[in-house]
Amino acid sequence: MSAVPIQAYLALALILFCIGLYGALTKRNTVIVLISIELMLNAVNINLVAFSKFGVAPSITGQVFALFAIAVAAAEAAVGLAILIALYRNRKTINMDEMDTMKH
């Protein structure tokens, strides 16, 4: 069977990463931003997994790495949401662009 070439996986990951980055940098809604970050992290996971199969020297560690990444991403998201709630309690908004009491 002809395998999908690695370039495809990499391209996909890259595109996913860029979408995530774009979202993280432009969306006003903080939840969306957090999700975009997840997107970026998942792009990494695709990379890792792809490399672990089709990389220069395929090895299982890539997938281990991916697992760790997923765990960490989850933790990060959790913390992010917790902080967002705390903020919402005080500020009554989840809009990114309103979080600028400190500047210059």
Partner 1 sequence: MDLETLLSYEWSIMAPEFIILGVATALSLLDLFMPKAQSRKILGWIGFAGILAALVSLLGLVGHSTESILFDTFRLDSFAKAFKLLLLIGAAMVMLIAISYELNEGLEEFRGEFFYLFLAALLGAMMMSSSGDLITLFVGLELLSISSYILAGMRKRNLQSNESAMKYVINGGISTAITLFGMSYVYGLTGTTNLKTMAGFLTTVYDEQHIYLLGLAFFMIVVGLSFKLATAPFHMWAPDVYQGAPTPVTAFLSVISKTAGFALLVRILFSIFANTPSGDAEGMPMILTLQDYIAFLAGATMIIGNLIALRQRNIKRLFAYSSIAQAGYLLVVIATMSLFMFDALWFYLGAYLFMNLGAFAIIQHVTHKSGSEDISQFAGLYRRAPFLAIAMAVFLLSLAGIPGTAGFIGKLNIFMGALVPQEGHYVLVSIMIAATVVSYFYYFGVMVQMFFRPAADVGKIKVPAALTAVISISIAATILFGVVPNIAFDFLQGNFNQFTDFFQ
Partner 2 sequence: MMENAWIIPLFPLLSFLFLILFGKRLKEASAFIGILLTLASLVYSLLVLFERLTAPTYKAEGVWLTIGDVQLTAGFEVNQLNALMLVIVSLVSFLVHTYSKGYMNGDDRFPVFYAYLGLFTFAMLGLVISPNLLQTYFFWELVGLGSFLLIGFYFYKEEAKAAAKKAFIMTRIGDVGLLIGMILLFWQVGSFEYDEIFAAAEAGSISAAMITLTAILIFVGAIGKSGQFPLHTWLPDAMEGPTPVSALIHAATMVAAGVYLVAALFPLFTASETALMTVAVIGAFTAIFAASIGLVQKDIKRVLAYSTVSQLGYMMLALGSAGYVAGVFHLMTHAFFKALLFLAAGSVIHAVHTQNIEHMGGLWKKLRLTGPLFLIGTLAISGVPLFSGFFSKDEILIAAWAHGNTVLFWLAVIAAFFTAFYMFRLFFMVFAGEARSDMKNVHESPSVMTMPMVVLGVLAVVAGYVNTPWFGTFLGDWLVEGNHSLGHGHIEGPAWIMAVATIVSLLGIFLAWLMYGKRSLSRDWLTSRAPLTYNLLYNKYYIDEFYQLTVVNGAKFFSAFLRFLEVFLIEGIVNGAAGIASSLGKLGSKFQNGQIQTYGTAAFVGLAILVVIYAVTGGYLK
Tell me which residues touch partner 1 (CB under 8 A).
13, 17, 20-21, 24-25, 30, 33-34, 37, 40-41, 43-44, 47-48, 50-51, 55-59, 61-62, 64-65, 68-69, 72, 75-76, 79-80, 82-84, 86-87, 89-91, 96, 99, 101-104
Provide the 3-class DSSP secondary structure of residue 3: coil
Task: Output phi, psi for 7, to 5 deg.
Answer: -50, -40
Sole binder of partner 2 in the list 60, 89, 90, 103 (CB under 8 A): 103
- Residue 66 near residue 47 (C-beta atoms within 8 A): no
Rg (CA), the chain: 17
Task: Output phi, psi for 28, to 5 deg.
Answer: -85, -30
Whichever of 15 and 99 has its CB closer to partner 2, that residue is: 99
Q: Taking CB under 8 A as the criterion, which residues in 59-98 touch partner 2? A: 96-97
CB of residue 30 to partner 2, shortest distance in Å: 9
> Which residue in this structure is represented by tokens 């990060």?
76
